[in-house]
Amino acid sequence: MTRKLSRSFFDRPTLEICPELIGKIIVFKTHDSLFSARIVEVEAYVGQADPACHAARGMTERNQIMFGPPGMAYIYFIYGMYNCLNFVTEADGIAAAILLRGAEPIDGIEAMRQRSKAGHDWQLLNGPGKFCRSFGLTREQNGLDLTGRELYLEQSDQPPPVIERSPRIGIRAGTELIWRFFDPASRAVSRVSDRNKKKKEEKTKEGN
């Protein structure tokens, strides 16, 4: 049996793929290490009409991977110190991707613990920046094939979990879109209050 997800899995509408990703396994192999985890939280960033999508202002050197064929890794550097991993979706020419925000560690936990100072194992991957740090993913892996030998997704033996939706986290525009999907039963879901941002917006308005 083949458990590995093929390119056709990613060659579909992004919002159709998102709920199916929850519960899937992500695997990253290098010459001397193996990491795997169960995906519990993702967000959709779809096309140039989505104001929160990096592709909203057209293709640039940074976001060009999103415009390419599906099933590739789009990894970008943010806030001066973090990387975030996305799965590129939809046909070649359509800029869309799914941000991996949270996962439960399976393999490589010892190495993850060394990279992260998390007190509990469920804190190793509960955030997009933390996921990349613990897995060791950086912009060097940008454009890597998600259906290759080094990095891929696979089916889980477990039944699919109940899935909840919410607005996306950490963005200013496009908050009306309910494009965050997560497994509410998992502790590895990033818990971020969006009240900070509301207050910041109020402050900004007052300043104007």
Q: Which of 17, 54, 104, 146 binds DNA (CB under 7 A)?
A: 54
**Cβ at position 60, least distance to DNA in Å:** 3
Closer of 4 and 194 to DNA (Cβ)? 194
Q: Which of 99, 112, 177, 189 binds DNA (CB under 7 A)?
A: 99
Residues near 82 by beta carbon (within 8 Å), at least 6 away in sequence: 128, 129, 132, 133
180 binds DNA (CB under 7 A): no
Q: Report how far residue 90's alpha carbon sits from residue 69's, in angstroms, rounded to the nearest whole number.
A: 7
105 bridge partner residues: 37
Count of residues touching DNA (by CB under 7 A): 41
Contact track, DNA, 7-46, x by CB under 7 A: ------------------------------------x-x-
Helices of type H across 70-185: 109-115, 128-135
For 194, the token pair is 């969006």
Q: Which of 91, 178, 185, 192 binds DNA (CB under 7 A)?
A: 192
Sign of CA dihedral 48, 141, 105, 26: positive
SS3 content of the chain, % helix, strand, coil (to 5): 25, 30, 45
172 binds DNA (CB under 7 A): yes
User: Kindly report the CA angle at 127 between 121 and 128, in degrees rounded to 5?
Assistant: 125
186 binds DNA (CB under 7 A): no
Stretch that binds DNA, among 10-18, 106-114, 151-159, 163-171 (CB under 7 A): 163-171
Q: Which of 17, 27, 65, 84 binds DNA (CB under 7 A)?
A: 84
Residues near 123 by beta carbon (within 8 Å), at least 6 away in sequence: 116, 130, 188
| Residues at the interface with DNA (CB under 7 A) | 43, 45, 52-54, 57, 60-63, 66, 74, 77-82, 84, 86, 97, 99, 116-118, 127-131, 168-172, 190, 192-193, 195-196, 199
